[in-house]
Amino acid sequence: MNRPSGQDRPTTPSLGAMRTAVLIVDDSLTVRMDLAEAFTDAGFLALPSATIGEARALAMREDVAVVVLDVQLPDGDGVDLLKELRAGPRGRDLIVLMLSSEAEISDRVRGLTTGADEYVGKPYETSYVVAKAHDLLRIRQPQRTQARAILVIDDSATYRNTLAQALRDAGFAVITAADGETGLALAADRRPHAVMVDGQLPGIDGAAVIRNLRLDTALRGMPCVLLTAADDADAELTALDAGADAFVRKEEALDVILARLAAVLRRADHRPAGHAHSMLGPKKILAVDDSSTFLHELASTLRGEGYDVVMARAGEDALDLLKVQSVDCILLDLMMPGLGGTGTCRLIKSTPGMRDIPLIMLTALEDRAAMIEGLGAGADDYIAKASDFQVLKARVRAQIRRKEFEDENRRIRDELVRRELETAEARAAQELAEARAELVKELERKNRELEAFSYSVSHDLRAPLRGINGISRILLDDYAGKLDATGQDYLRRICAAGGRMSDIIDDMLHLARLGQAALARSPVDFTALVHAVLGELQHRDAARQVDCRVSDGMTFAADPGMMRIVLDNLLGNAWKFSGKTAQAVITVDSVPSPAGTVYRVRDNGAGFDMAHAEKLFTPFRRLHTNAEFPGTGIGLATVHRIIERHGGRIWAESAKGQGACFCFTLAESPPPATVNHG
């Protein structure tokens, strides 16, 4: 539990009246006090509790955003409390970090699979726990902070506090650090809107701080102002070469410094990153070794560098963990019982979700064959075990940095591909729009041609046809006595053919206009409409006796005029084709089906051969001769077009000499309030 001491501790004042609440549940008073102090310093509202009961009460009373939860508690299991919290009304958005003494990998897997966002082993690095909470909050709950935050890095407490107070008075939230290393960690953790850094610092200087920020993919857009008390004429050039956005001398008035900062913020496109991961942020290392002594020594060293270390004593345990938790780097012993380092490495590098994790092979063997074996298994690096861990720490940093750069390059490539796809889609959409516009123009041209044709048919063809029919009837009426029987028969045939041609012209025009007519849906009393059409058929053919059976209560939403045309054709056909049946029966009813209500018009008339059913709805294709049953062959094509325009389907079932059944469905549409009875 490493913490900065007294005066060097970074400070973050409250960022407004509301602070993010973190519930700390641990039976150890030392742990509770340590974490509560760290989270309070980081601007959180810390709520420590020693038992599950206390934690429940605090969770119900406070708006908790983060929970740090120990597994072993006096009054129960922390994992059970985790289940309870996840099942609560705010459980989905809650961030939970499990905190427990290093135990079996199976315990860690249990916590993560139950719903923990992170699992940190004891002894822990306090800065890692706080940084991880910040990191998860940025992803889960972006834009929680309203005030713009400025990070001030200066080793002079007097100047640091003076500048911080001036920034607070100007409405900024302020984070302070006394050295460059702490400042970089805070920049990765808190993601301020800008950094103001002194040029002269203990350890790494201000220019080096800025260069480190510019190398980090998640932080490189962060505005930086370099401060200096030096009179060196080259100081500004050094600052700008390092990547600073502005250079300010400390002796300038505070209002001038604030104005320079405001100008930098106005120019900057940067906003605090949400999902980008910083190379300076918290990192997790998985160490796999069957030697408990070496494993604990390695973990202690890496934790001192700010890493969270997960320890596994076998390759099988490491694979189980990697299935539920990602890590930033893997340190793997070559010689282990069971699966062994080589086998574990091959499985990791062959698994899609794990293969990109940097893996460093460790071994006590220093021969060339062992190194080749490790690298051949897929390891990214190979290092001999030694008591001096300096080289190992450098290799770990290098591998993590390499992975971060690869991820950034992959992100850039993906972004370029995405933009290329968007450009291609936009180009395709433009081409499609142009093609559609051209089709619309062509369709309009065809419609104009159709209208011209319709006009021609209506006027140019009908006029001579009326002349032929009229003269033929005059001949029959006035000169029939001067013609023999054959001549009179010829005249009658001319009149009948003219009448049939007139009917065909009418039906053609009607079919052509259907596609252009507006569809006006309203509630239709289908039963009443059927009775009306049957009544007209009976009136025109009063001598016939037809048994008409119509179901009650048939209603739907449709265009009333078009449905009248449908019934005129379907019932007209049923009446016509049952004309030679001694006891004619016409039935109109409806039956439910998975596709919706099916409406049926049935008769017991002539019927047809189903082998020719595909011709039924094609214009001018007839299944009976005009001598048997007169007609134009357009009626069913008209019906088919109307049903299609209503989003429905029509089909027929029949057998020759056994009548026919025409069935249709309509797409459902919410009907208006009144019913049209046709």
51: domain CATH number is 3.40.50.2300
578: pLDDT strictly greater than 70: yes
| pLDDT tens readout for residues 351-367 | 887 888 999 988 876 66
For the chain, what is the radius of gyration of the CA atoms?
43
Q: pLDDT-based confidence at 179, cuts 50/70/90?
A: very high
What pLDDT shows up at residue 239? 73
Task: Please identify, among 512, 542, 560, the residue that sits at the C-terminal boundary of a domain.
Answer: 512
Tell me the CA distances in angstroms from 428 to 26, 416, 441, 599, one per residue in order: 59, 18, 20, 43
Task: List phi, psi (to 5°) of 330.
Answer: -120, 130
What is residue 6's predicted lDDT score, i.e. its pLDDT? 40
Asked whether residue 325 carries a pLDDT value surpassing 60, the answer given is yes
Q: Residue 69: what are its φ and ψ, rounded to 5°?
A: -125, 120
Q: What is the CATH number of the domain that holds 641?
A: 3.30.565.10
d(CA 15, CA 171): 10
Is 28 in the same domain as 58? Answer: yes
For a pLDDT cut of 70, what percent of the chain falls above it?
A: 84
| Helical pair 78-87 and 52-61, crossing angle rounded to 10 deg | 20
Both tokens assigned to 286: 């998985």
Q: For residue 674, what pLDDT is reported?
A: 41
Q: What is residue 23's three-state secondary structure?
A: strand
Higher pLDDT, 448 or 10: 448
Residue 272: predicted pLDDT: 43
Least confident of 38-52, 75-89, 274-288: 274-288
* pLDDT of the residue at 672: 43
Rounded distance, CA 483 to CA 487, Å?
5
Same domain for 170 and 138, yes or no, is no
Backbone angles phi, psi at 49, to 5 degrees: -150, 150
Dihedral Cα 589, 608, 649, 586, nearest 10 deg: -20
- The per-residue b/e assignment along 422-434, b for 16 or more CB within 10 angstroms, e otherwise, is eeeeeeeeeeeee
Higher pLDDT, 460 or 173: 173
Q: Which of 84, 94, 101 is nearest to 31 (CA)?
A: 101
Lowest-pLDDT choice from 36-50, 142-156, 353-367: 142-156
Q: Is 600 helix (H, G, I), strand (E, B) or coil?
A: strand
With contact defined as beta carbons under 8 Å apart, do 301 and 389 qualify? Answer: yes
CA distances from 495 to 50, 67, 253, 499, 507 (A): 107, 96, 111, 6, 18
Q: What residues make up the domain containing 240?
A: 146-281
Q: What is the mean pLDDT of residues 566-582?
A: 87
The reply to whether 525 and 661 lie within a common domain is yes
Lowest-confidence pick of 200-214, 233-247, 501-515, 564-578: 501-515
Does residue 2 fall inside a structural domain? no
Q: Is 245's pLDDT higher than 80?
A: yes
CA distances from residue 314 to 216, 364, 498, 534 in whole angstroms, order as listed: 34, 17, 98, 87
Whether 119 and 164 map to the same domain: the answer is: no
Q: What pLDDT is stored for residue 261 in this prediction?
A: 87
Query: Are 452 and 492 in the same domain?
Result: yes
Looking at the structure, tell me whether residues 196 and 321 fall in a common domain: no
Residue 241 and residue 192 share a domain = yes
Residue 498: the pLDDT is 74
Whether 392 is in a domain gets the answer no
Q: What is the mean pLDDT of residues 220-247?
A: 79
CB atoms within 10 A of CB 386: 12
Question: Rounded to an integer, what distance in angstroms lies between the CA atom of residue 457 and that of residue 648?
Answer: 31
Q: Is 5 part of any domain?
A: no
367-421 pLDDT tens trace? 677 778 878 888 888 888 876 788 888 888 888 888 888 877 887 888 888 888 8
Q: What is the pLDDT of residues 198-228, one digit of tens each?
A: 988 988 888 899 888 887 777 878 899 988 8
Domain membership of residue 609 (yes or no) is yes
Same domain, 383 and 431: no
Where does a domain end: 113, 142, 171?
A: 142
Q: Both tokens of residue 123? A: 């002894």
Considering the domain architecture, whether residues 330 and 216 belong to the same structural domain is answered as no
129: pLDDT strictly greater than 70: yes
pLDDT in tens, 507-550: 666 656 665 667 788 999 999 999 999 998 888 888 888 899 99
The number of distinct structural domains making up the chain is: 5
Q: What is the mean pLDDT of residues 597-618?
A: 82
List the beta bridge partners of residue 663. Answer: 600, 651
CB 323 within 8 A of CB 286: no
Least confident among 83-87, 159-163, 378-382, 402-406? 402-406
Q: In 141-281, which ranges are continuous DSSP H helix? A: 157-169, 180-190, 206-215, 235-242, 254-267
Of 107, 59, 104, 109, nearest in space to 81 by CA? 59
Give the chain's mean pLDDT.
81
Average pLDDT (48-68) is 91
Of 227, 249, 281, which marks where a domain is finished?
281
Residues 84 and 401: their CA atoms lie apart, in Å, by 39
Strands, E assignment, 527-610: 547-550, 555-558, 585-591, 598-603
**Helix, strand, coil percentages for the chain (3-state, nearest 5):** 50, 20, 35
CA atoms of 519 and 641, how far apart (whole Å): 12
Whether residue 313 has pLDDT greater than 60 = yes
Going by pLDDT thresholds of 50, 70 and 90, the confidence category of residue 22 is very high
Average pLDDT over residues 305-321: 87
> Cα angle vertex 432, ends 431, 434, to 5°?
65
Q: Are residues 650 and 523 in the same domain?
A: yes
Q: Which comes out higher in pLDDT, residue 584 or 657?
A: 584
| Nearest of 160, 231, 227 to residue 200 by alpha carbon | 227
List the single range of 102-106, 164-168, 485-489, 537-541 with lowest mean pLDDT: 102-106
Closest alpha carbon to 359 in 338, 379, 339, 387: 379
In a domain, 405, yes or no: no
Of the listed ranges 142-151, 191-200, 339-348, the least confidently predicted one is 142-151
- Considering 358-367, 442-451, 453-462, 669-678, the range whose residues carry the highest mean pLDDT is 358-367
Q: Is 29 a member of any domain?
A: yes
Q: Range with the lowest mean pLDDT among 526-530, 656-660, 671-675?
A: 671-675
What pLDDT, on the 0 to 100 scale, is given for residue 286?
A: 92
| Predicted pLDDT of residue 277 | 58
User: What pLDDT is stored for residue 358 in this prediction?
Assistant: 92
Residue 330: the pLDDT is 93
Q: Which of 89-93, 276-280, 370-374, 421-425 has the highest mean pLDDT?
A: 421-425
Same domain, 123 and 150: no
Where is pLDDT greater, at 510 or 445?
A: 445
- List all residues 6 or more positions away from 193 whose beta carbon is below 8 Å from its beta carbon: 148, 149, 150, 222, 223, 265, 268, 270, 271, 272
**Amino acid type, 549:** R
Dist. CA 313–CA 106, nearest whole Å: 12
Q: What mean pLDDT comes out for the span 51-65?
A: 90
Would the pLDDT of 456 be above 70? no
Residue 411 CA to residue 417 CA, distance in Å, equals: 10
The whole-number pLDDT of residue 17 equals 42
Both 528 and 659 in one domain: the answer is: yes
Compute the average pLDDT of residues 543-563: 90
Place of tokens 């159709």: 450
- Residue 327 maps to a domain: yes
User: 457: Cβ–Cβ under 8 A, 6 or more apart, which residues?
Assistant: 505, 508, 509
Q: Is residue 638 part of a domain?
A: yes
pLDDT of residue 66: 93
- Select the highest-mean-pLDDT range: 52-66, 141-155, 241-255: 52-66
pLDDT of residue 677: 43
Instruction: Specify which of 174-183, 274-283, 442-451, 621-630 reaches the highest per-range mean pLDDT.
Output: 174-183
